Amino acid sequence: MKALVAGFSTQLTKALEIGKNASLNKNLDPIRNIVIAGLGGSGIGGSIVSELVAMDANVPMTVCKGYFIPAFVDKHTLFIASSYSGNTEETLQALEQAITKKAKIVCITSGGKMTEIAKQHKFDYITVPGGFPPRACLGYSLTQLFYILKFFGIINIDFEGDLNASISLLDKEEQGIIELAQKIATKLENKLPVIYATTYHEGIAVRFRQQLNENAKTLCWHQVIPEMNHNELVGWREKNEDIAVILFRDQDEYERNNARIEINKEVIKKYTSNILEIYSKGKSKIEKALYLIHLGDWISCYLAEKLGYDANEINVINDLKAVLAKT
């Protein structure tokens, strides 16, 4: 897993080439909404990208992480099915529903049943390299989403420039990222991580939570500011030094959110002294997001190492899929 994390910037470079060479076809009907279907490592890209382009997209976007799709899906929907293996049960069922609704369909996958379906129905599809854990291939799926959204006129941003700048940033900062990840992993050892981020950064927090779950075999939770100021903050009532709070921060954060964060810290420090603030680096939203994602991936690997776990092992998920396959 560490080798896969180390190759993140190389993956982004390859993903850009795949996206540039992708063959897509315009929809006959105008696109009025977008649904991105996917779960786990295949679905988190949809969450992250939908937040990164929220202020630029000209139609509403919904991320679907289950068996069923929204009732509004129709011929005016751009339905993007993302399954790294091509065999994700929930996403395939959602795809079949989108077909009956006559949505415009684009698939992102490395093969499997999804490719078979795409070929059968002559849907647009983008093939990414296979054979790796889906959570280690975020760079591939995330990049293709940008290309799809740009092709259909949903966004009009220089995402290629931002992704290339991200690659340069990560390569330049790699040693510092690794050293910081090791320090943070030490502080998270035998703690219950609680992750906080602000609105439109939730996908980054979820990604980190998922990486801690799968790589470091660690339970944790996340919440969003300012939403948590209306509920979860009240739950801080008992001192517990086994909890470690991670705050994802941005130098350009909205001033009211910064004010809330400072007040939150004053409340939380009464109950735990373990408060870690992680600031993003980079100029664009995409650069900042990929910096935090990459740092979080490294943290999860080093925490797995400290706890004595194999970051690649996900036996319980494989067992669950095996049992479901028999029913």
What residues are annotated to the active site?
214, 230, 321
Collapsing DSSP states into helix, strand and coil, what is residue 107?
strand
E-assigned strands of the chain?
33-37, 61-64, 77-83, 104-109, 124-127, 192-198, 221-225, 243-249, 275-279
Q: What is the rounded CA–CA span in Å between residue 38 and residue 150?
A: 20
What is the spatial order of strands in the sheet that 61-64 belongs to?
61-64, 33-37, 77-83, 104-109, 124-127
- For residue 112, the number of C-alpha atoms closer than 13 Å in the C-beta half-sphere is 20
265 CB neighbour count, 10 Å cutoff: 14
Q: In 3D, which of 111, 126, 110, 142 has the Cα closest to residue 43?
A: 142
104-109 and 77-83 as β-strands: parallel, antiparallel, unpaired? Answer: parallel
Q: Omega before 226 cis (within 30°)?
A: yes
Tokens 């086994």, located at residue: 242
Q: What pairs with residue 37 in β-bridges?
A: 64, 81
Distance of alpha carbon 303 from alpha carbon 147, whole angstroms: 34
Amino acid (one-letter) located at 251: Q
* Secondary structure in 3-state letters for 26-58: CCCCCCCEEEEECCHHHHHHHHHHHHHCCCCCC
- List CB contacts of 124: < 8 A, sequence separation 6 or more: 23, 24, 25, 105, 106, 107, 118
